[in-house]
């Protein structure tokens, strides 16, 4: 019976993923229908009445009028509405009252954020998750792919309750509300998933690893790397396929895989398929549908409306927030050679919401994107315009040349006695590596990748220092910040207040290699 059900589900999934074969013109039409649907449903909410959703719906051009009447938002502008919902308010930004709130830890750049997760939003996330699962299943995975175990390493399923709403990590919310049929195959199970201590969670997964027949793993690459290392060490394996011979697929998101890919590959006994996903606390944005493609396809017909703001000085201030005169670009007009900040409108009551990521279209007609950085995490203290993507690419090249792995890193720009400079900190467990040689080569590679950086290094950006540190130092600092585990990410560009804390932590806990 279970196999019959899964077979039927697979055929349904094939139909779902077939819908993903579309062109941009069709996607634009879907987007207008999606916006109309959400405006209609939210027209009688407090936010809908304030911004005239009824008037937008009867206008000749609802998309243009929506962009004209509704302001660009970010967490700071939506927080007053969401705080009232968190305290029990209903019909404020979306009909009804959100039962769940996702606690977004982000990159530790400030206090935690509470993002509403409505019932309609949960349906959208689950629908997109199934589409991705079936897109994976259509590749040459084992024939009995749907009968084996899936290992998802996310936040704790033990949610908090404030009297009106549950709140916790988004992965914990989605796991705790997953369909019963899927729960039968999901690991590590409720007892381990509910753990809030990440050290204990990893320890328990290592202990139970032999009991599972894992075919697919999903989770942040930093923790997947640590888990595989611990399992191989505990059971004295040559590679992870000695214990999980059917392990075929790894799904990751939130951060670049480049710093971790070499380490993960080194622990495999056979090639696996890598699929990137873009699931943020604010919504399921995109996922990779084609093996070998550079980008992830935006999720359409799933109650999410997208807009894009060219990420440049005309639209953004130094604080990484849009300027009042910032202009948006529709899906119909995006180009492949431009970095955009992405805005989303979702059934969680997020309206024209800046989620803080920058993206670039790898294939505009196929609506495929890759994440290039954060609006508040780029380095440009004197015009060098160094993006996180530049940093990831540069470090990946240097790591390959030196036969090393840099699983974590961070950088701080500042004024050095009247001139400007960058301070780099790299996680590296390869002993004896010459930090000065790494610094020199990284400087050269960044200049090759970024013309602005090359120019400023010759004239204004005179200083550069680089320190190699054990990976445990980065994990220890994250734990001190209360941001260990889940989707928490080490900030690639340190803000001033975090830099002071980081330097103090380094002085108390370690010395550079």
Residues 353 and 464 in one domain: no
Q: Are residues 343 and 406 in the same domain?
A: no
User: Has residue 6 been placed in a domain?
Assistant: yes
Domain boundary among 376, 407, 436: 376
Two tokens at 319? 């604080």
Chosen domain end from 376, 398, 429: 376
Full residue range of the structural domain in which residue 419 is found: 388-509
- Give pLDDT, residue 308: 98
Residue 446 counted as domain residue:
yes
Question: In CATH, what number is assigned to the domain containing residue 408?
Answer: 3.30.300
The verdict on residue 315 lying in a domain is yes
Q: What is the mean pLDDT of each run of 10 residues along the chain (513 residues)?
A: 46 45 86 97 98 95 96 95 95 96 62 86 92 86 82 84 89 74 78 85 94 93 90 97 96 84 94 93 91 89 97 85 92 94 97 94 95 82 82 92 92 82 92 94 93 84 92 90 73 86 87 52
Residue 219 lies in a domain: yes
Residue 383 is assigned to a structural domain of this protein: no
pLDDT for the residue 243: 97
**Do 146 and 292 belong to one domain?**
yes
Verify that 473 and 443 share a domain, yes or no.
Answer: yes
Distance from the first to the final alpha carbon of the chain: 58
My answer on whether 10 and 148 are in the same domain is: yes
Clarify whether residues 372 and 394 are in a common domain. Answer: no
Do the domain assignments include residue 37? yes
CA distances from 448 to 366, 381, 391, 393, 451 (A): 29, 19, 12, 11, 7
- Does residue 381 sit within a domain? no
Q: Are 360 and 433 contained in the same domain?
A: no
| β-pairing verdict for 409-416 and 368-374 | unpaired
What lies within 8 Å, CB to CB, of 65 at 6+ separation is 55, 56, 59
CB 329 within 8 A of CB 311: no
CATH code at 233? 3.40.50.12780
DSSP 462: E
The answer to whether position 382 is within a domain reads no
CA distances from 202 to 205, 305, 416, 485 (A): 5, 37, 42, 10
350-363 and 339-346 strand pairing: antiparallel
Query: Buried (b) or exposed (e) across 466-483, using 16+ Cβ within 10 A?
Result: bbbbbbebbbebbeebeb
Same domain, 327 and 260: yes
Question: Are 394 and 366 found together in one domain?
Answer: no
What is the C-alpha to C-alpha distance for residues 165 and 116, in angstroms, rounded to an integer? Answer: 10
Token pair for 198: 């990440």
**pLDDT value for 510:** 62
Which pLDDT score is estimated for 322?
A: 92
Query: 374, 388 in Cβ contact below 8 A?
Result: yes
Pair (348, 419) in one structural domain: no
Whole-number pLDDT of residue 293? 82
Last residue of a domain, one of 350, 376, 402: 376
| Residue 270 shares a structural domain with residue 198 | yes
Per-residue pLDDT at 426: 96
Location of structure tokens 């240097």: 398
Q: Which of 465, 466, 469 is nearest to 511 (CA)?
A: 469
Looking at the structure, do residues 142 and 283 belong to the same domain, yes or no? yes
Give me the number of domains the chain comprises. Answer: 2
């Amino acid at each position: 019976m279970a196999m019959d059900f899964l077979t039927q589900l697979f055929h349904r999934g094939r139909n779902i993923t077939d819908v993903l074969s579309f062109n941009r013109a069709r996607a634009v039409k879907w987007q207008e229908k999606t916006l109309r649907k959400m405006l209609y449903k939210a027209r009688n909410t407090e936010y809908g009445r304030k911004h005239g959703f009824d008037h937008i719906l009867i206008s000749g051009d609802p998309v243009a009028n929506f962009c004209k009447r509704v302001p660009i938002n970010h967490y700071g502008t939506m927080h007053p509405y969401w705080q009232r919902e968190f305290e029990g308010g209903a019909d404020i930004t979306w009909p009804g009252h959100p039962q769940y709130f996702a606690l977004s830890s982000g990159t530790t750049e400030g206090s935690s954020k509470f993002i509403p997760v409505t019932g309609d939003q949960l349906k959208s996330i689950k629908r997109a998750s199934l589409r991705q699962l079936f897109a994976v299943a259509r590749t040459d995975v084992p024939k009995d792919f749907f009968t084996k175990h899936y290992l998802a390493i996310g936040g704790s399923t033990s949610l908090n309750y404030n009297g009106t709403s549950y709140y916790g990590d988004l992965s914990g919310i989605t796991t705790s509300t997953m369909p019963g049929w899927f729960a039968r195959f999901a690991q590590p199970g409720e007892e381990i998933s509910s753990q809030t201590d990440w050290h204990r969670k990893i320890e328990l997964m290592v202990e139970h690893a032999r009991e599972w027949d894992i075919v697919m793993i999903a989770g942040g690459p930093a923790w997947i790397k640590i888990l595989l290392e611990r399992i191989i060490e505990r059971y004295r394996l040559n590679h992870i396929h000695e214990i999980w011979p059917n392990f075929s697929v790894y799904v990751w998101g939130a951060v670049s895989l480049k710093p971790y890919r070499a380490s993960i590959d080194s622990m495999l006994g056979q090639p696996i398929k890598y699929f990137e996903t873009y699931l943020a606390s604010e919504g399921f944005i995109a996922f990779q549908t084609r093996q070998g493609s550079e980008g992830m396809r935006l999720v359409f017909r799933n109650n999410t409306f997208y807009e894009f703001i060219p990420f440049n000085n005309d639209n953004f201030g130094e604080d990484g927030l849009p300027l009042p005169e910032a202009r948006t670009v529709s899906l119909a007009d995006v180009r492949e050679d431009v970095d955009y900040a992405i805005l989303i409108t979702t059934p969680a009551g997020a309206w024209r919401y800046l989620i803080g990521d920058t993206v670039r279209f790898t294939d505009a007609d196929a609506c495929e994107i890759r994440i290039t950085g954060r609006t508040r995490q780029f380095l440009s203290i004197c015009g060098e315009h160094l993006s996180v993507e530049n940093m990831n690419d540069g470090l990946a090249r240097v790591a390959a040349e030196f036969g090393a792995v840099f699983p974590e890193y961070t950088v701080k720009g500042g004024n050095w006695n009247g001139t400007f400079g960058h301070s780099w900190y790299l996680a590296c467990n390869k002993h004896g590596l010459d930090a000065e040689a790494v610094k020199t080569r990284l400087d050269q590679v960044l200049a090759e990748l970024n013309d602005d950086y090359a120019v400023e290094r010759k004239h204004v950006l005179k200083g550069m220092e680089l320190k190699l540190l054990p990976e445990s130092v980065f994990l220890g600092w994250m734990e001190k910040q209360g941001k260990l585990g889940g989707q928490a990410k080490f900030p690639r560009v340190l803000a001033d207040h975090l830099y002071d804390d980081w330097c103090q932590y380094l002085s108390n806990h370690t010395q550079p290699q």
